[in-house]
Amino acid sequence: MKRKLMITVLLIFTLTSLLIGGALASGKISIVVNGQTIKTDVSPRNVDGRVMVPISTISKALGANVSWDSKTQTVVINQKNAASASGSDLWKEELDLTGGDWAEIASPIYQYLVAYNIRDEASEEVWNKIVSPDYKGISFPGGGVYPSILDIKFIDAKKVEGAEQYKVRVNVVHYMNLSTPFIAEWEFLITSYVGKGNLIDDANIIKDTQLKNYTVFPGLTFVDVSEE
C-alpha cells in the first residue's frame, strides 16, 4: 500500500512539474533594456531553464554592432555607445601601478569633480588645493549649488613619457533639462609634486554627447525628455 502511495505521489509531482514548466515555456517572454521593452524578430524561448534571446537585437539595443564571421564561426560584437566607452583600451598601455598608486592618481580627480559638481565656497577651497600652480584647465564654475552628476566612470590612463605625469580619461554622466542624460568625456593631466603629492595640471571636456537613456543601476534609468 505504501509503495502504491509513493508511486502515485511521484507521478502527481512529475505531472505538476511538467505542466508548470510547459506553462512557463509557452508564456510570452519580454525583453527590457534600459527601461524600454524591445521588440524582436525572433521570440525569446525558455529552453531547459535557460532563456534564449536573439543576440543581434540585444546588442543593437545596447548600442553595439553585431557581425558573423563564417570562416571562424565567430559572432563579433563591437560596442559603439559612448556610455560603454569604458570597455575600450584607449591608449593600449599596460600600467605598472599598485592599488595605492592608482588611488593617489584617482583621488584628486574625484575631489575635482565633486567640487565642480557642487560649486560652493567650501568646494572652491578643495579645488584650489588639488590644482597645481601651473593649472590651465577649466575655471572653477560659479552659480552656487548645482549638483548634476549621475555617474562617474574611468575610461583609461597612460603615463607621460619622461615625466611623473599621467593622462586620465573619465566619463562623467550628467543631466540637463530635468533628467535628459549627457555623457561628457573629460581628460585630466595629473602631476606628482615633491612634498605636495599628486595635483591636477590640466582638466578639459573633450566631448559632451546627449544620450537617449542611461541606467545608473537596475531600477534607476534616466531618459531624454528634451523632446517631450
In a domain, 206, yes or no: yes
Is 173 in contact with 147 (CB distance < 8 Å)?
A: no
Within 13 Å, how many C-alpha atoms sit on residue 91's CB side? 15
Is 136 in contact with 69 (CB distance < 8 Å)?
A: no
Calculate mean pLDDT across residues 114-119. Answer: 94
Q: Can you tell me whether residue 177 is helix, strand or coil?
A: coil
Is 125 in contact with 112 (CB distance < 8 Å)?
A: no
In a domain, 142, yes or no: yes
Provide the pLDDT confidence category of residue 6 given band limits of 50, 70 and 90: very low
Mean pLDDT, rounded, of the chain: 81
Domains in the chain, number: 1
pLDDT-above-90 percentage for the chain: 48
Provide the pLDDT confidence category of residue 113 given band limits of 50, 70 and 90: very high
Domain of 142 in residue numbering reads as 88-223
The pTM for the full model equals 0.65
In a domain, 72, yes or no: no
Greatest Cα-to-Cα distance within the chain, rounded to the nearest angstrom: 92
Read off the DSSP letter of residue 102.
Answer: H
Residue ranges of E strands in 132-164: 149-159
Any idea what the CATH number is for the domain that residue 137 is in? 3.10.450.540
> pLDDT by residue (tens digit) across 83-103?
444 456 889 899 999 999 999
Asked if the model's pLDDT at residue 23 lies above 80, the reply is no
Is 117 in contact with 149 (CB distance < 8 Å)?
A: yes
In a domain, 61, yes or no: no
In a domain, 150, yes or no: yes
**What is the predicted pLDDT for the residue at 41?**
78
SS3 per-residue string spanning 83-94: HHHHHCCCCCCC
